[in-house]
Amino acid sequence: EVQLLESGGGLVQPGGSLRLSCAASGFTFSSYAMSWVRQAPGKGLEWVSTIRGSGGSAYYADSVKGRFTISRDNSKNTLYLQMNSLRAEDTAVYYCPKVYGSGNDPFDYWGQGTLVTVSS
From residue 7 to residue 46, what is the string marking binding to other proteins with x (rule CB under 8 A)? Answer: ----------------------------x-x------xxx
Helix boundaries (H) for 30-69: none
If residue 6 lies in a helix (H) or strand (E), which one and from where to where? strand 3-7
- Based on the shown chain and the rule CB under 8 A, indicate whether residue 108 belongs to the binding site for other proteins: yes
Dihedral sign of CA atoms 60, 101, 54, 29 in order: positive
Site for other proteins in 45-104 (CB under 8 A): 45-47, 50, 59-63, 95, 97, 100-101, 103-104
User: 66: burial class by Cβ within 10 Å (0-12, 13-18, 19+)?
Assistant: exposed
CB of 36 to other proteins, least distance (A): 11
Binding site residues, other proteins, CB under 8 A: 35, 37, 44-47, 50, 59-63, 95, 97, 100-101, 103-108, 110-113
